[in-house]
Structure 1
Amino acid sequence: MNNREEFKKWALENLTEKSNAGPSYLISLDWLSKRFSENKRIKEKSLFEIEDIDLISKLHSEVKKIQRDKSSYIYNKDAPSYGERFFYSASLAKYREFLESKRINSAEIKLHFFQTSLKNSGLLFKKHLVLRTITSLISKSFLILTGLSGSGKTKLAQSFVKWISVDSNQYKIIPVGADWTNREPLLGYPNALNQNEYVKPENSALDLLIEANKNPNFPYFLILDEMNLSHVERYFADFLSAMESGEEIFLHSGAGSISGVPPKIRIPKNLFIIGTVNIDETTHMFSPKVLDRANTIEFRITPDEMKSFLDQVGEIHMENLESKGAGMAKSFLEMALDKSIPSEGMDDVKEQLGKFFVELKKAGAEFGYRSATEILKLIDRLGKIDPDLEMKEKLDIAIIQKLLPKLHGSRRKLVTVLTTLANLCLNDYISPEKEKASVEGKVFGVEANQIKYPISYEKLSRMYKAAVENGFTSFAEA
């Protein structure tokens, strides 16, 4: 099937004005092909032979300008019907959208599609951060974004779910209240005074779960903004248990649905939960139980990133993201549902994990079988999303996201552990037996080219400094 026939099929399936717009777009694109060819704007005889999105975008801009100027060039007085005389810029815009959809629907997931959409919407996020966010969701359906307030945590989460969802029914952004002491804000409750009524939460969280269960072929997203304003273990306990066990959550004792709510509900495999976290005196720390069930990504802003932002600051257009990556949803979901655990080429990973396990155990922060399995999955999926990543880069991401978040404690408890962990992040391990001077000074005073895992090493350095200066440190605050 050539592009013309594919576009015709795509237009009829995706345009609301199916009876008119699709066929009219074909006529207007055929007419534009002749005009562009006559004016030597394209060499090909047909626009349908062009798959260069940038060229189509330039032609679209030209046509829009001509239409604004009401030039006779774009007014096709010979068109068989009135409507077909004015479809030209719209038809080019839709053809560009078709090409984007066609490219995104390829089997290989490419990160730059999302990055391009982010740039077009006025948002600036580093490729490394975007990579970690998407891959973390693929390897584990629960993601925690922590860091400085106003650093873009919620905006990145919102951007991705808008981009990959067909419509807004696939995601909910819910601000967590400081008064959430039980599960009712998310799951509602049966009316004790009326057995035929179930009171759903106004934020539609329960409706999202019900819809996700009904539509297993589409990804759904629950974004909990400022997730730690209340104790997570209280309002989120049912989710934490059901995500791991696969068991149903009991909702009411009725025999059938009440107010559209079934007696029990599962946390579906196509539901992804993203929690954003700010750390200050008004929030609560996460327990190891919560951190162990998630990937944790820390947002920080470097001086260079702030300078770049100030140089390029502008208006944000979130509408430019809407459904642009919807064609990627199938591949995204297939990868997320793939439970295979890689075994080949993981010898170095296993060796490094063994070393980190020994040191983390000294601080009471060792990881279990679940975390070990998820680290292997994360490393494997990172390689699939970005084949150019070196193994040490993938290990660096796994260490900071899965091993370090549970670290917290006093100076006496952690200084030696932090030093040894940072030592493991170096290319050449500094042996305490061979060094007469302070090992701490040696480990935390190395040159950049001596560091094997830079992201993890930088985090450990900050935690070490906080422990020395304040007598206490934790992953969330350092």
Structure 2
Amino acid sequence: MPLNITDTDILKAVRDINPSAIPPRRFYTKYYLVADGNKYPPKYVLSNANQYANGLELPLDLFTARQAVDYLTKLGFQVEKREEVPSYFEELERFLEQAKTEDLKYSSYNKNFIGLEVRVSFGRAHKAKVPRIAFLNKANSIQEYIYPAYFFYEEQGLLILAYGVNETHEPPHNWELHNPVTISKYFAEHDLGKPPNYGSSYVYKAYNANNPLNRDEIEEDLLDIIDIYNEMQEDTDMPTNTNETAQQEFRLSAFLEALNATGLSFHPSLVTRFVGSLLAKPFVILTGLSGSGKTKLAQAFVQWICKNAQQYSVVPVGADWTNREPLLGYPNALDAQDYVKPDNGALDLLLNANAHPAQPYFLILDEMNLSHVERYFADFLSVMESQEAIPLHAGGAQKRSGVPAAIKWPSNLFIIGTVNIDETTNMFSPKVLDRANTIEFRVTEREMAAFLNNPFGADKQPLNAAGASMAESFLKLSGIKAIPNDHADRQLINTTLISFFKELKKAGAEFGYRTATEILQLINQLEVIDSTLSLNKKLDIALMQKLLPKLHGSRRRLTPVLSTLGSLCFNGNGNIEHEVFEATGFDFEKDDRVLYPLSLEKITRMYKGAIDNGFTSFAEA
């Protein structure tokens, strides 16, 4: 590294750098240079300062982050260590221990590290000659491009942090290094023979794996090589999933257009309810007819809004789920350093959501009621309200297999549960329903006809990341919890809710403060994403999703209540049972006397169910 870079050169570089224009991935560093109240990556600044001292940017592979920190400190600049250093140290130690065994399983390892996908391999059917850990951007692949990697040569007791290179084909973009040393050359220079694999990759640093690794050194080296990797992505046409996309305001119409382009057919009002519900409360239950598109809609939205597949996970719920372990894993009782993660990726999703708070993450629980929800989901239900951490193990500050002792509830995590009702499933308790927006899926004759005309035409590929530029705006909207007290319709909303409260109380299904608050939030969010909705339409959606789902009981108990609730949804003077419940072909959408068509139609079905079966509930088979 040139030693003629002066403090004046550094100050000029700092003045020229707009902190907000520095790519976020360049901040994955252990230390910050602090100047004028702003934080800067030390290597980034020093590289730019070299332009003033020597006329060109300093290539990042010519000096390390530690050298940059020492140089800036020597010149009298303020350098601070970040509070939480991104670390892969525990995972690496576990990798080295496992690499000495015949265990080839890798699913328990973290899938992401500071924006890069992590791929751990010990071999497939047989143990690999050289186990490896590769770090790569989503658009890249080990087969096509280049990647930072750890290679473990067990026979030589050698761990190499390398500039990884494809073994069989020349990559479109190779590492731009000064005086690189291949692993083959390193082996030859140290009389180690010929490396069994990865000989064409370049050595960043070699460590004696027979001795304990130095945590600080490991952390700094990995962050340093990733910084070089990220800089290359900026300077080449290499595809990347970490490029910052120009953010846009969230528009529901954009998602509706994308759905239409794929051939997926959902009524716009259903999509509006789904998105508005997610924004109002990050827990949504989709129930209704089996095969009506509940999971399809959830998958379509998360594919559209998420930048990559690491931001969502679809987890099929098992009938044998009797505790939280299928979602949160458990500490290994036989190994105090080990934590067994679930293979479905649910815990990794929570960890990633906490690590990347600026992006939305989605957990889709398919067939959520195949098991008793309260048994495996109790921790989630509790922390949704308390916002406290979920305890995972008794390790204190010490992580087990990269898993902390407790995990905070991520404010950017959204949970979507799909539900079918039959003799193999379980009913939800009021505790669960009270914390969610419940949306019922039905299929109309027109929708079925449209589907039959093109039953295999849906192609979800165009949805992938198409709405990722609106993700930040979506998150910002979901954080708006304040309800304007001076809303023009607030008095009418309050009066309507009190009317329903009185009648629901007769059936023991009255709502509390939380439900009332969430109804107001839902109405507010529906207005934000679709200003064309009338007040009655918004009230109808809120009543349908937040109040009616808790109704269930016998004919004697519920029919009087359902009749009164139906009357509140209907502006007629006659008998509600005769005019609506028992009428043939009553048109809920077109009859001008109907105030809340969604709710009245549902109440009618529940009333008929109570009469025919002696019992009724919101959920139907």
State TM-score, norm by structure 1: 0.76
Higher RCO structure (Cα 8 Å, ≥6 apart): 1
Distance (Å, rounded) in 2 between the aligned partners of 1:443 and 1:309: 30
The Cα shift of 1:15 comes to 8.5
Distance (Å, rounded) in 2 between the aligned partners of 1:239 and 1:210: 14
Contact 1:423–1:443 (8 Å) recurs in 2 = no
1:378 corresponds to: 522
The Cα shift of 1:368 comes to 0.3
- Worse overlay, 300-309 or 394-403: 300-309
1:475 maps to 2:618? yes
Cα-to-partner distance string for 1:290-337 (whole Å, 9 max, x where unaligned): 000000000000111111211233332221110000011011000111
What does residue range 365-404 of structure 1 map to in structure 2 within 5 Å?
Answer: 365-404=509-548
1:281 maps to 2:281? no
Contact 1:342–1:377 (8 Å) recurs in 2 = no
Distance (Å, rounded) in 1 between the aligned partners of 2:427 and 2:479: 30
1:150 maps to 2:294? no
Greater C-alpha radius of gyration = 2
Distance (Å, rounded) in 2 between the aligned partners of 1:290 and 1:409: 17
Alpha carbons of structure 1 residues 269 and 362: separation in structure 2 relative to 1, 3 Å: same
1:272 maps to 2:380? no
Cα-to-partner distance string for 1:223-251 (whole Å, 9 max, x where unaligned): 00000000000000000001111111111
Contact 1:342–1:376 (8 Å) recurs in 2 = no
Distance (Å, rounded) in 1 between the aligned partners of 2:576 and 2:341: 58
Distance (Å, rounded) in 2 between the aligned partners of 1:291 and 1:212: 24
Among 578, 589, 592, the alignment partner of 1:441 is 578
1:141 corresponds to: 282
What does residue range 75-474 of structure 1 map to in structure 2 within 5 Å?
Answer: 105-107=247-249, 109-255=250-396, 256-343=398-485, 344-345=487-488, 346-428=490-572, 430=573, 440-444=577-581, 445=583, 448-474=591-617
Cα-to-partner distance string for 1:376-414 (whole Å, 9 max, x where unaligned): 010011011000100000000000000000000000000
User: Which residue type is aligned with residue 245 of structure 1?
Assistant: S
The Cα shift of 1:439 comes to 5.1
Cα-to-partner distance string for 1:58-109 (whole Å, 9 max, x where unaligned): xxxxxxxxxxxxxxxxxxxxxxxxxxxxxxxxx9xx9xxx9xx76xx433x3
The Cα shift of 1:14 comes to 11
Contact 2:387–2:408 (8 Å) recurs in 1 = yes
Uncovered stretches (5+) of structure 1, i.e. residues with no partner: 1-8, 22-90
The Cα shift of 1:442 comes to 3.5
Distance (Å, rounded) in 1 between the aligned partners of 2:139 and 2:403: 33
Alpha carbons of structure 1 residues 443 and 120: separation in structure 2 relative to 1, 3 Å: closer
Cα-to-partner distance string for 1:130-175 (whole Å, 9 max, x where unaligned): 1111110000000000011100000000000000000000000000
Distance (Å, rounded) in 1 between the aligned partners of 2:420 and 2:549: 14
Contact 1:291–1:406 (8 Å) recurs in 2 = yes
Contact 2:434–2:515 (8 Å) recurs in 1 = yes
- For the residue of structure 2 that corresponds to 1:151, the secondary structure is coil
1:52 corresponds to: none
Contact 2:265–2:447 (8 Å) recurs in 1 = no
Percent identity between the aligned chains? Answer: 59
Distance (Å, rounded) in 2 between the aligned partners of 1:198 and 1:366: 43
More helix by share: 1
User: Which residue type is aligned with residue 427 of structure 2?
Assistant: M
User: Which residue type is aligned with residue 561 of structure 2?
Assistant: V
Distance (Å, rounded) in 1 between the aligned partners of 2:400 and 2:138: 35
Distance (Å, rounded) in 2 between the aligned partners of 1:106 and 1:242: 31
- For the residue of structure 1 that corresponds to 2:349, the secondary structure is helix
User: Which residue type is aligned with residue 535 of structure 2?
Assistant: M
2:83 corresponds to: none
Distance (Å, rounded) in 2 between the aligned partners of 1:125 and 1:352: 29
Distance (Å, rounded) in 1 between the aligned partners of 2:448 and 2:375: 37
- For the residue of structure 2 that corresponds to 1:281, the secondary structure is coil
- Worse overlay, 115-124 or 401-410: 115-124
Distance (Å, rounded) in 2 between the aligned partners of 1:373 and 1:125: 28
Distance (Å, rounded) in 1 between the aligned partners of 2:492 and 2:427: 33
Distance (Å, rounded) in 2 between the aligned partners of 1:393 and 1:231: 33
Distance (Å, rounded) in 1 between the aligned partners of 2:435 and 2:478: 15
Contact 2:307–2:468 (8 Å) recurs in 1 = yes
The Cα shift of 1:122 comes to 1.9
Distance (Å, rounded) in 1 between the aligned partners of 2:454 and 2:492: 41
Contact 1:135–1:381 (8 Å) recurs in 2 = yes
Distance (Å, rounded) in 2 between the aligned partners of 1:15 and 1:254: 36
1:82 corresponds to: none
Contact 1:425–1:456 (8 Å) recurs in 2 = yes
Cα-to-partner distance string for 1:33-64 (whole Å, 9 max, x where unaligned): xxxxxxxxxxxxxxxxxxxxxxxxxxxxxxxx
Distance (Å, rounded) in 2 between the aligned partners of 1:459 and 1:315: 31
- Worse overlay, 343-352 or 463-472: 343-352
Distance (Å, rounded) in 2 between the aligned partners of 1:302 and 1:443: 19
Alpha carbons of structure 1 residues 420 and 173: separation in structure 2 relative to 1, 3 Å: same
More strand by share: 2
Distance (Å, rounded) in 2 between the aligned partners of 1:335 and 1:246: 19
Contact 1:414–1:467 (8 Å) recurs in 2 = yes
Contact 2:566–2:576 (8 Å) recurs in 1 = no
The Cα shift of 1:427 comes to 2.5
1:42 corresponds to: none
User: Which residue type is aligned with residue 260 of structure 1?
Assistant: G
